[in-house]
Structure 1
Amino acid sequence: MTILYKLGDSLYVNVTNKCPCACKFCIRIDHDNVNGEDNLWLPHDPSVEEIIEDFKNFCLEDYKELVFCGYGEPLIRIHEVIEVCKYVRSMSDIKIRVNTNGLSDLIHKKPTAHLLKGYVDGLSISLNAPTKEAYLEIVRPRFGIESFDAVLKFAEEAKEFIEDITFSVVDIIPKEQIEACRRIATERNIKFRIRTFIE
């Protein structure tokens, strides 16, 4: 079971395969890994204890950051993510980032960004569309049309608690949509990044 895996100079944490979205471009459709090595399909969601145990196989000083991002939405398990962050913080000042779809509030049916305060240094929030309708079409969230506004709200609230917030889009969406997403980020004083689609 692959819980921790290396990608570039970052160490990634794969905490779940569950996700409330079915993005048209999701790498999970055709691949079982992102680095050519580790199968990221989990037989079960690892416990906090299993995740912490796996850290014994890695030296955090060898990496520039720790990233919660695997083959699912990490904030489905927001409380487990926080517990792992507490453990990491007890022994390292490594930068901690969470890659998320931004739907945590809908998942947990309450505001959640504040829970990450003091544990997470950065959030990369997948936007991938500039309107409710386009988001529904390409991301296909199980929460329906309200999902897009929930992502924007989560990002705005997260700015109060987390220093480094980025909206990201994948580079296969139309250029005009990418630029519209960039404007959404700029209007909200949120950083913007275009991600390369992984074949």
Structure 2
Amino acid sequence: MDTFVYEIDGKLYINLTNRCSNDCEFCVRNGKDSYYGNKLWLSKEPTAEEVLALIPDFGYSEVVFCGFGEPTFKMKEVSAIGKELKKRGFFVRINTNGQGNLINGRDITEELVAAVDKVNVSLNAGDRDKYYEICRPVFGEDAFDAILDFASLCKDRGIITEFSIVGVLSAADREKCEKIAERLGIHLRIRKYIQDS
């Protein structure tokens, strides 16, 4: 059975798709189909209605769009689910690789304003070359600049915006990421690298 919604540390997570525009060398899904005991590899993608039917009206501090794929591949569902959850009073976050504008061929940040309270953008490298090397985006080296533009647009539209990097980066790469975040006025969070769940 597919896992569309799962819980970790008192937060509810929404798993919309397996699709991703990256093939990151450190990705948690490399070689496995589950995360913290939740089987996240999907045999089919859910509708907004299927997801909303699984979410209780209370009991969670936050609901997060984050699964085995990039949620912005499913912008129609992100928009519908996010708007409804915000109406119900939930704090809604999306964890993204920041390539949503490239994926959808348009600026999606205005839609995100109505659907989420916070955007967490995986930066993961301090320059284009390193990003291309470790994240292997289908959009090539242009993906890195698009990520920075996307994060800036989210911030400018008033969405709480945060960059994150995996803690395995070298000190030099981490410093580059810190400088980018400082230049753009976006908070940077270092997340731990999870190999096993």
- 1:98 aligned partner: 94
In angstroms, what is the RMSD of aligned CA positions? 1.1
* In 2, Cα distance between equivalents of 1:126 and 1:144: 16
1:118 positional shift: 2.4
Q: Structure 1 residue runs of 4+, over 3 Å off?
A: none
User: Which amino acid in structure 2 is aligned with residue 182 of structure 1?
Assistant: E
Q: C-alpha deviations, 1:58-88, integer Å up to 9, x for none? A: x342111000000000011111111011222
- The secondary structure found in structure 2 opposite 1:144 is coil
* In 2, Cα distance between equivalents of 1:99 and 1:70: 9
Q: Structure 2 matches for 1:41-80, cutoff 5 A?
A: 41-55=41-55, 59-80=56-77
TM-score with structure 2 setting the length: 0.95
- The secondary structure found in structure 2 opposite 1:118 is helix
- 1:107 aligned partner: 103
* In 1, Cα distance between equivalents of 2:84 and 2:152: 27
* In 1, Cα distance between equivalents of 2:174 and 2:182: 12
Would you say 1:148 and 2:149 are equivalent positions?
A: no
* In 1, Cα distance between equivalents of 2:125 and 2:18: 23
- 2:38 aligned partner: 38
Tell me if structure 2 keeps the 8 A contact 1:120–1:162.
no
Unaligned stretches of 5+ residues in structure 2: none
Q: How many residues align?
A: 194
1:162 positional shift: 3.6
- Which residue of 67, 83, 86 maps to 1:86? 83
User: Which amino acid in structure 2 is aligned with residue 4 of structure 1?
Assistant: V
User: Which amino acid in structure 1 is aligned with residue 85 of structure 2?
Assistant: V
1:109 positional shift: 1.3
TM-score with structure 1 setting the length: 0.94
Q: Which moved more, 1:186-195 or 1:45-54?
A: 45-54
* In 2, Cα distance between equivalents of 1:60 and 1:178: 39
- 2:17 aligned partner: 16
- The secondary structure found in structure 2 opposite 1:159 is helix
